[in-house]
Each structure stands twice: as structure tokens, then as C-alpha cells.
Amino acid sequence: MPEIASALSKTAPDVPVTFTVNELAAQVGGTVIGDGNRRIKRCCGLESAGPEDISFVSNIKYIGQLNTTAAGCVVVDAKLNHQSIKRPSDSPLTIIQAADPYFAFRQIMVAIHGMRSHPKPMVSPLCDIAPSARIGADCYIAPFVTIGENCRIGDRCVLYSGVQIMAGAELESDCILYPNVVVYDCCRLGKRVIIQSGAAIGCDGYGFATHQGVHHKIPQVGNVVLGDDVEVGANTVIERAAMESTLVGEGTKIGNNVVVGHNCQIGRHNLLVSQVGIAGSSTTGDYVVLAGQVGVAGHIRIGDRVRAAAQSGITSDIEPGRDIGGTPAMDFKLAKRVYLQIFQLPEIAKRLRAVEAKLANLVHKTEEH
Amino acid sequence: MPEIASALSKTAPDVPVTFTVNELAAQVGGTVIGDGNRRIKRCCGLESAGPEDISFVSNIKYIGQLNTTAAGCVVVDAKLNHQSIKRPSDSPLTIIQAADPYFAFRQIMVAIHGMRSHPKPMVSPLCDIAPSARIGADCYIAPFVTIGENCRIGDRCVLYSGVQIMAGAELESDCILYPNVVVYDCCRLGKRVIIQSGAAIGCDGYGFATHQGVHHKIPQVGNVVLGDDVEVGANTVIERAAMESTLVGEGTKIGNNVVVGHNCQIGRHNLLVSQVGIAGSSTTGDYVVLAGQVGVAGHIRIGDRVRAAAQSGITSDIEPGRDIGGTPAMDFKLAKRVYLQIFQLPEIAKRLRAVEAKLANLVHKTEEH
Amino acid sequence: MPEIASALSKTAPDVPVTFTVNELAAQVGGTVIGDGNRRIKRCCGLESAGPEDISFVSNIKYIGQLNTTAAGCVVVDAKLNHQSIKRPSDSPLTIIQAADPYFAFRQIMVAIHGMRSHPKPMVSPLCDIAPSARIGADCYIAPFVTIGENCRIGDRCVLYSGVQIMAGAELESDCILYPNVVVYDCCRLGKRVIIQSGAAIGCDGYGFATHQGVHHKIPQVGNVVLGDDVEVGANTVIERAAMESTLVGEGTKIGNNVVVGHNCQIGRHNLLVSQVGIAGSSTTGDYVVLAGQVGVAGHIRIGDRVRAAAQSGITSDIEPGRDIGGTPAMDFKLAKRVYLQIFQLPEIAKRLRAVEAKLANLVHKTEEH
């Protein structure tokens, strides 16, 4: 892909200010080993990094790359024995040791690159805001945004083009809604909520009462309430409650193309990875992690700190603290053993046939005998 | 989540009119046991309901909650022995017995809350309608809607902001399209179709002819036809046919983030739950239920009233009336037994090894003998 | 569905020009058997085709339909023995034999129907284009499109209504973006890229550093680069890289509701079918096929020409050229045998119990003996 490779050279944003390694280490409470006066201007992956870039090693299995990387500086775990790094003497590596190296590197990324900057506050004349809506101070409201009757938009919110806020919805301050996000009527977003493009917050729950062969739509008169610091991925769908509220607790991060069914109560600081589906009225505790494509049946209770492996199918309540996997979801360690045996199934069947034959033979002989 | 709990108090819509229990029971042909003159103003879940709220019990396992709920009235199955409810004498519960309690409660929800009300008919001056498009009477067309050449929009349709109707598409009367729905060229929607936000109706089918290492796009010259009373969930995708039509039969309800492939023929009154995926040219009969995350291969025929459990993988034709589950999909009862045994696999392998050892030992002895 | 059936008669586009079978055969290098002077005006499925329609047989199992189809002409594999077709003498069938009949039929579809035609070049006065954006020649830019600062749009691009191009994004020539597509800041699209409605290109990657109980957002400072001739399905999500670029190689075709995680490197000419999910930093070689609902874990390397069956779960690196299936993904032939045995699991358990009982009995007897 040569033309793509050359394209890459354009992706590195220009950063006007550079930092010394010492400055960066000081910000994250890290220890510098090597030349702390090197100047750094960009964060970069280990393989692509150059002498003015800082990178990091998240996983012990990539430690070997420290011997060869061209990066100017690498953030590593404080527990790493840096003397195990074998570098040519004419190309020493500067490292920053940090107790939580992933978080330290994140702090350095924020220091160097910052979060995405948004357009300056303004309300576009090309948007459509109902007279009864109240818009806070210093908002950016892009063209082709609509804000319905009685909405309330908090201070410093950023609403990109094509965002549709239906009547009665309320956003606390500092929310960022990317293009074409839809917030249905009467839904409520806490502070600093981020919603990626195309997500649907508060569409009707999938509720039908089947009577005499017809699926009658059940009015969905509840709403969705997202706590502070929730992030919702692109094209994710969170259904409004039939009655009362579908809740997502503060600090929970939801991936792309996830579906959260009506009346779910998602706890705080969950990680719901892309393509997870949770059927109606299920609840999760705090710090639950559901990996990609996990499915959860309706009316299930998942305890605090449960972690489910990708593609798990959760069909019964799960006690707090458990790691699970497989379909139907079972203890993760058991799942690993089960899935090892699954490969052996044809072999098991063959061995069982052999045993049966031998045994029949033996029985025959014994009886004969 | 205290701040979220307080937020909830805002979600109950104000309902100006109240009903007595007797009035509600009369509307649904139910039998009142207790004080029929109580006034009810809201539908609510059993746990949160107060003395002016009506709730219902759908599942026998929640019957115990009838002893403690603060609800003013609860709709229950006519078969429930109401004398089994143990309430303190100073807080009697009024119940409505109904033959189909879920449908009865739905009717009561409609009576009290109604369906979502939409803005008054008008055509926004901020939308873009091609001169050749014909718009029916009493439509609501929001800002930033586009309607292409030769489209026909039936009476009383509601098109929310950001809806895009491409050239030649036709909507029968009383359709509701939520924000940012896209209807591609020449697709046709029956009467009373509801489409939640972000859904794509009639995008190109995934059709490519691979020739000499290149995937050549096959023109997708068909369309999508949705029957009357179809509902389509948010961010769901229904591909247009390569030739002729992808069909969805009347009364079928489709969840969120579902994909229906090109040239599928979905029957009437199906329930396709969120994240279901159906590959091209497959067909379903009437009253088929595919639970969440079910996958269906291409060119499959699924008979009337088949029901597939969540996450099933359907790779061969299914006869009418069958309940199925698992991957590849098998009889549901068998699937339940199979998945019970899957947990036992490591144990089975261990027992088989023990049997083999014992048998070898025995053979050895017998031969010795 | 009688009303739907009649609706179908409207879906066949009027084609002003007709072709003879001989003309069509000549375009695709095919051999005509039968009346080459028949006039053809439409491509159609075998079952619905009439005397002025051309159809094709892709699969040997549908060969029997050649005896009964009313089609005027059918494209078949050159290897088909056409003398095996049993037609009444008064309704002979004209066939075109082609070495690659699927591709030949695709060429005929293009000849007869062409690709979708788009509106004439124009820039709508109802769109919002930043002063610093550069728009190529002969573009169609629909109403309610936004194009941010410093964007570059190549010649002959088609941007349908509601498309949002954020600051600094670049499109090469001849791209087609259907309604409500979002391209985030600084992403780059090659030539002739097609994106179906609602897709999100370059939303933030799902990256959080958890520190003291809080998931801290990691700035996503990279972008997405799509190679030439990439097609992206409706409501699909391709996350931008945390650093550097998420890449999709030229000629790769992606279905609907797919998620490609941040920093993935997708090879050339891949087929990623609907609802596939690929976690962050995974790579695929060229000509990889992932069927519907396949899940790929993070940091996985998938070799050239690997093909994975629907719903597979790929949790480890896969060598080039392998066909795989199942969860966790295994050799496809093994997977087929495994899934055959899975049905037998209850039976295996029963037989194992029988063997154990017999063996115990035998041991008992032998010892007695």
C-alpha cells in the first residue's frame, strides 16, 4: 500500500510545543532513565516512532521491541528491569518508568496532543431551535442541528451538524454530540457525556403485546438517563423505557453498534464493548466488563465487577466478581477447558466407539469363558 | 446513583385526565377485585409504583411482589387466585383480572398515556422537497428533511429532522420516520410503517462478482418493500434487492442494528430482535421469531412459526413450527441438553480416560488369565 | 401478500434500450445456444423472469429450474451440458454459456441497467462549506451537507444530503457518500470509495486507561485511511487510530453494521460481511473473507486468503490460506466434524454411562471370579 503509507505522513498533527522527557516524566510522576533533555513532539506506536516521538510498552511480550525501536523515549512499567534492554551504545534509549505506565502514557498524550479541539462557541444561523428551548453559555451548535420544544442544553455543550434533539430532552454541561446523533424526547444526559456519530438515545423500546395474531405496539412512555461522564459509541442504540427510565450509570463507556434494551439499568464504570446486546430489563452492577458481541438475555442481573469474554451468551444471573465465558456463559476457567475439549470431540467419539467395541468383545469372551 | 434517582421524578409525564379502576377495567373487559373507585393517573413498574399508579404482573415468579407493592392497582392473569395475595388489612390492593393481562395492560397504557404525540402538521420551510414530489395531506415534515424527485408521501406522514427520502420512494399514509432515517431510491413503505432513527432502508445489497482478483460491484437495481404496520428499529439496515424486491411482510417488527440482506423475503408478523443478521435471499414464513443476535445464512428457508433462541446460527432450512437453538441450530430441547453436556465436557474426557485405563487393565488381566 | 406482489410491478426500472442475446453474449465473450436474436430488456431472478428478461444460474442445485423458467435467456456455466435441459419444444430456452457466468451476468446487468445514476453536478445553496475547503470539479453536494475547514473533496464526488465531513478530511475523486454518512476530522478516502448511509468513518477508538476506578479517555489523535475502491456498508463503524492510522486496503468491501476497531490494518480485497466485529490493532492480509457476525479479538494477525465461516470467534493468529470456523476458531473441516458431534453430546454422555456401568459390572465379575 505505498500510496497509503505516504498518506500516513500527513496524519501526524502539527504540535507547536515540544516537551523534554524530564518535563513529561514530572507530569506523570515517572522516573527518567537516560537522557532527560531529549525533546519530544509526538506520541507514536513503537514500530513507527522516530527520535522525537514517545511511545510505550503495554505488554511484556513486546519488551523485545525496546532493543530495536527508533523512538526517542518509551514509557515502561516501573517493575521492568531496564538493564535487560540491549541497545547499541551509539543509540541509547531514554525510558520513563511509571507505576501505571498505560495511564502515564495517556497523561502524556493529553499533555502533548490534548483532546480533540472543537469549533469556537457559536450558534449557527442554519440550525433550528425551538423558542422554548434554553441553550447554555458558550455552546457550539452546528448547522442543521434541531433542538425541540422545552429542551435544555447545558453550558459549553458541543452539538455537531445533523444532531437532532427532540422535545423535552435535557443535556447537562460540557456534553459533546458528534454528527447525526439523535436524542429522543425527554431523555437526559449528565455532565461531560460524549456520544459518537449516529447513536440513537431513547428510541422506542422493542415492546409489543401479541393479541389475536397481531403485535400491538406498547407505548414507550419512559426515557433514557445517562449519568455523568458516560461515553456512547457510534451507531449504538439505547432504548427508552416502556415506563420509568433506562439508566446508564456514571463513567460507563459503551462501544459501537451496541444495543441496550428498554428498562435496563446499567451500573457505573461499566465497559460495554462494541456489538454487545443487552435485552430488556437487565441490570449490571458497577465495573462490569462485557467484551465484544456478548449477548445478555432479558431480566438478567449481573453483579459488580463481572467480566464476560467476547461472544459470551449470558442467560442467567451472574454473581459479583465472576469471570465468565462461552454460551451459555460459564466460569471462565471452565470455559477455557471446555473449549479445549470441543476440538477433541470427534476424537472422543472415536475413542468411545473403540471402548464400546473392546468392551463388547470382552463381555463376549467373559461370557463364553 | 442518587442524582439519577432524583432525575427519575421528572420522567413521569403529566397526564391531565385520571381514570377510575372501574373505567380502565371496563375498557379491557377485566374483572375488578377490591376498590374500583380508586383514581389512577400513571402506569408504572411494580417496584416503583405508588397509590395512583397501575402496574401489572407478567410472570408468575413476580407474584410475591403483590404482597408488598405500593401500587394502587395491578393487572393480573384471570387465572391467578387472588386470595393467595397476603396484604396487611390497612393496605388492600385493587386488582384487575384479565384473560390476556399483558395485552390488557397495554390497552390501559394507551388509554392513560397514549402513543407519542407528534408535532402539528406542517412542512418546514427549511426542508428540501423536489418539485415533482407529491406530499399528502396533514403531513409533518421537519427541518433538514430531503425528499427526492418523484417521491410520493402519503397523508398524515411524520418525517422528523434529517430524514432523507431519495428519488422515487413512496410512503403510504400514516408512516412515522424518526430523525436521520434514510430511505433509498424507489423503496416503498406500506401504511403505518414506523422507522426508528438512523435506519437505512434500501442501501445497496452486498453483491460483488470476483473476477481476476477484483470484487466487481453488481448493480443493485431492485428495491425494498415494507408491508403495512412494519416497524424497523434504530440503525437497522435492510438491503435493496439486486433485482426485484427485498420484502418485509405486514405486521413484522424488527429490532435495532438488525441486518436484512438483499433479496430476503421476510414473512408477516415476524419478530426479528436486535442484532439479528439474515444473509441474502433467505426467506421466513409468517410469525417467525428470531431472538437477539441470531444469524441466518444465505438462501435459507425458514417455515411459519419457527422460533430461534438468541445467538442461534441457522445454516439449513427449518421446517414450520420448530423451536430451535444453538450453532448450528438444532431442536431447542436437544440444544438445551447439549449445552448442559457442554459444561461436562472436561469431566467426560476425564471419565473416558478412566474407562480406557480400566479397560486396558482388564484386557490385560483377562489375557493373562 | 397480494398488495406487495402488485407493488413489485413498479420496481422494474424502465430501460429505454433493449439488446439482443447475441449483443449481450458478445460483450461477455459468451457462446449463444438457441435464438440469439431474442430481445432482452431486463435482468431478473429465474423464478420471476419473463420472455424479455435475462437471468442466470449460479448454483448447480438450481439447474432443474431451467426446465420450467419463463425467462427469455439464461446465463450458465460453460461447463454445463445444455442438452440436459428438458424443455417443451414450443418453448425453447436461449442460453449464454460463459466461463465465469456470475461475472458475465454482472457485466450484462451493467450493460442493461447501469450503475445507480446520481443527480447532476451542483453544489446546493443549502449546504455549509467552510471557506477553506476545496471542492473539486463536477461534484454533487446535496442540501444539508457540511464540509469543515481545510477539507479537500476530489473531482466528481457525490455527497448526498446529511453527509457530514469534519475538518481536515480528504476525499479523492469519484467517491460516493450516501445520506447521513459521517467522516470525522482528518480521515482520508481513496478514489472511488463508496459509503452507504449512516456509516461512521473515524469516530474515536474505544480507548480508556483505567486509573483509580475511573476510565480515562485516551485522546484518539490518529485517523482512518480507506484505500481506492473500498466500499463500506450502512451504519458500519471504523474507528480512528489512537495514534497513526486505521487502514483499509484497496478493493476491500465491508458490509453493514460492521465494527473495525482502532489501529486495525485491514488488507486489500477483503470481504468483511455484515456485523463482523474486529477489535483494536488486529491485521488482516489480502483477500481475507470474514463471513457474517465473525468476531476477531484484539492484536490478532490473520494471514492472506484466510476465510472464516459465519459467527466464528477468532482469538489467535491465523496462518495464510486457512479456512476456519467455530468458536474458538479451528480448521473448518474439523469444525464441521466437531459441530456434527455436538448434536451427539447427550448421546455420548449416555453411552459413556452405559460403558462405565458395564465395565464396573465386568470388573466386579472378574474380581469375583
For residue C272, CA distances in Å to C81, C249, C268, C364 come to 35, 12, 11, 59
Q: Using CA of residue B112, residue B115, residue B119, residue B123, what is the dihedral sign?
A: negative
Per residue in C103-114, pLDDT (tens digit) is 999 999 999 999
Cβ B346–A365 below 8 Å, yes or no?
no
Question: pLDDT value at position C369?
Answer: 60
Q: Which chains reach chain C with 3 or more Cβ–Cβ distances below 8 angstroms? A: A, B
Going from the C-alpha of C342 to that of each of B312, C97, C143, C173, the distances in angstroms are 14, 43, 55, 52
In a mutational test of the B interface, the residue from C127, C228, C256, C337 whose CB has the highest number of chain B CBs within 10 Å is C256
Query: A258-299 pLDDT, tens per residue?
Result: 999 999 999 999 999 999 999 999 999 999 999 999 999 999
Q: Which residue of C has its CA nearest to A363?
A: C362
Q: Are A250 and A266 in contact (CB under 8 A)?
A: no
Query: Is there a catalytic annotation at residue B262?
Result: yes
Rounded-to-integer distance, Cα A312 and Cα B191, Å = 39
Peptide bond into A346 cis (omega under 30): no
- E strand or H helix at C336: helix C332-343
Long-range contacts, A42-49 (Cβ 8 Å, 24+)? A42/A12, A42/A15, A42/A112, A42/A113, A43/A105, A43/A108, A43/A109, A43/A112, A43/A113, A43/C221, A43/C243, A44/A12, A44/A71, A44/C243, A44/C244, A45/C243, A45/C244, A45/C263, A46/A71, A46/A74, A48/C244
Distance (Å) from the alpha carbon of C162 to chain B's nearest alpha carbon: 7
Size of interface A-B (CB pairs under 8 A): 224
Q: How far apart (Å, rounded) are the C-alpha atoms in residues B190 and B249?
A: 10
Which residues does chain C have within 8 Å of residue B366's beta carbon, measured at their own beta carbons? Answer: 366
Share of chain B above pLDDT 70, in %: 95
pLDDT the model gives residue C365: 82
In this predicted structure, the answer to whether residue C34 has a pLDDT above a threshold of 70 is yes
Looking at the complex, report in whole angstroms how far the Cα of residue C168 sits from the nearest Cα belonging to chain B.
Answer: 24
Query: In A, which residues are within 8 Å of C356 by CB distance?
Result: none
Decide if pLDDT at A369 tops 80: no
Burial tier of C58 (Cβ tally within 10 Å: 0-12, 13-18, 19+): middle
Cell representation of residue C230: 473500498
CA A257, CA A249: separation in Å to the nearest integer?
Answer: 19
Residue C327: closest C-alpha in chain A? A339
Q: Do C342 and A345 touch (CB under 8 A)?
A: yes
State which residue of chain C sits closest to B351, comparing Cα positions: C352
Nearest CA in chain B to A249: B1
Identity of the amino acid at A66: L
Q: What is the pLDDT of residue B59?
A: 74
Q: Give CA–CA dist B26/B69, Å, rounded.
A: 23
Q: In angstroms, what separates the C-alpha of A231 from chain B's closest C-alpha? A: 16
Give the per-residue pLDDT at C3. 38
- φ, ψ dihedrals at A67, nearest 5°: -75, -20
Which residue is catalytic, options C118, C211, C262, C269? C262
pLDDT on residue B15: 52
Q: Is the dihedral of CA A52, A57, A62, A66 positive or negative?
A: positive
Cα–Cα dist B290/B274, whole Å? 9
In chain C, what are the helix, strand and coil shares in percent, each to the nearest 5? 20, 30, 50
* CB spacing of B8 vs A358 below 8 angstroms: no
Phi, psi of A24 (to 5 degrees): -65, -45
Least CB–CB distance from A237: residue in B45, B256, B311: B256
Contact call for A292 and C315, based on CB within 8 A? no
Pick from A161, A346, A359: CB nearest C146: A161
Per-residue three-class SS string for B127-148: CEECCCCEECCCCEECCCCEEC
Q: How far apart are CA B142 and CA A259, in angstroms?
A: 27
Name every chain A residue with its beta carbon within 8 A of the beta carbon of B116. Answer: 185, 204, 219-220
CB-CB neighbors (< 8 A) of A217 in chain B: 115, 194, 231
Number of inter-chain CB pairs under 8 A, B vs C: 220
Q: Which residues of C touch B327 (CB under 8 A)?
A: 311, 339
For residue A206, the chain B residues in CB contact (below 8 A) are: 233, 253, 255-256, 273-274
Q: Which domains does chain B have, with CATH numbers?
A: 11-113 (3.40.1390.10), 181-328 (2.160.10.10)
**Residue C75 identity (one-letter amino acid):** V
Please give the full DSSP string across A140-155, using - where no structure is assigned.
EE-TT-EE-TT-EE-T
Stretch C22-40: mean pLDDT, rounded? 95
Q: How is residue A126 written as a grid cell?
A: 442554519
Q: Considering the entire predicted model, what is its pTM?
A: 0.94
Q: Choose, out of A237, A345, A362, the residue to mutate when testing the contact with C (most C CBs < 10 Å).
A: A345
Q: Give the H/E segment covering residue C339.
A: helix C332-343
Residues of chain B contacting A146 with CB distance shorter than 8 Å: 142-144, 161-162, 179
Which residues of chain A lie closer than 8 angstroms to C275, CB-CB? 275
Contact B188 C44 (CB under 8 A): no
B145, B152, B192, B217: best to mutate for the C interface, most C CBs within 10 A: B217
C-alpha cell at A299: 431480566
Q: How far is CA A162 from the centre of its chain?
A: 24
User: Mind listing the pLDDT tens digit for each residue in A46-93?
Assistant: 889 999 999 998 777 778 888 889 999 999 999 888 888 888 888 888
Chain B partners of C293 at a C-beta cutoff of 8 Å?
A: 277, 293, 295
Looking at chain B, which residue has its C-alpha nearest residue C309? Answer: B297
Tell me how far CA of residue C251 lies from CA of B23, B216, C281, in angstroms. 65, 9, 20
Longest Cα pair distance anywhere in chain A, in angstroms? Answer: 101
Say what the ipTM of the complex is.
0.94
Angstrom distances, CA of residue C265 to CA of A1, C200, C257, C273: 11, 17, 18, 17
B210 within 8 A of B243, measured Cβ to Cβ: no
Q: Are the beta carbons of C359 and B359 closer than 8 angstroms? A: yes
Q: Where are the alpha helices (DSSP H) in A11-100?
A: 21-28
Considering only CA atoms, which of C130, C136, C179 is closest in space to residue C154? Answer: C136
Whether residue A9 has pLDDT greater than 60: no
Chain B partners within 8 Å of C11 (Cβ): 186, 188, 222-223, 225, 244-245
Catalytic residue among B211, B262, B364, B369: B262
C144: nearest CB among B144, B268, B352: B144
Among C18, C78, C26, CA closest to C43:
C18
Q: Which residues contact C272 (CB under 8 A, 6 or more apart)?
A: C252, C253, C254, C255, C258, C260, C266, C278, C290
Chains contacting chain A through 3 or more C-beta pairs under 8 A: B, C
Chain-chain contact of A274 with C277 (C-beta, under 8 angstroms): yes
Question: Among partner residues A12, A180, A293, which is closest to C162 by beta-carbon distance?
Answer: A180
Residue C338 Rama label (left phi>0; alpha psi -120 to 50; beta): alpha
- Report pLDDT digits (tens) over A172-227: 999 999 999 999 999 999 999 999 999 999 999 999 999 999 999 999 999 999 99
Look at B235 and C257 and tell me if their CB atoms are within 8 Å. yes
pLDDT 10s digit of each residue in chain B, 369 long?
333 333 333 344 455 568 999 999 999 999 999 999 999 999 999 889 999 999 998 777 778 888 889 999 999 999 888 888 888 888 888 999 999 999 999 999 999 999 999 999 999 999 999 999 999 999 999 999 999 999 999 999 999 999 999 999 999 999 999 999 999 999 999 999 999 999 999 999 999 999 999 999 999 999 999 999 999 999 999 999 999 999 999 999 999 999 999 999 999 999 999 999 999 999 999 999 999 999 999 999 999 999 999 999 999 999 999 999 999 999 999 999 998 888 889 999 999 999 999 999 888 887 776
Instruction: Name which of B273, B342, B351, B356 to mutate to probe chain A: the one with the most chain A Cβ atoms within 10 A of its Cβ.
Output: B342
CA–CA distance, A319 with A323 (Å, rounded to integer): 10
Alpha helices (H) in chain B, listed in sequence order: 2-8, 21-28, 101-113, 332-368
pLDDT at residue C84, as a whole number: 82
Query: For residues C130 and C5, which has the higher predicted lDDT (pLDDT)?
Result: C130
Question: Which burial class, exposed, middle or buried, applies to B155 when counting CB atoms under 10 A from its CB (0-12, 13-18, 19+)?
Answer: middle
The H-assigned helical ranges of chain A are 2-8, 21-28, 101-113, 332-368
Instruction: Answer yes or no: do B234 and A203 touch at CB < 8 A.
Output: yes
- The x, y and z cell numbers of residue A211, run together, are 393479541
> What pLDDT score does C353 carry?
93
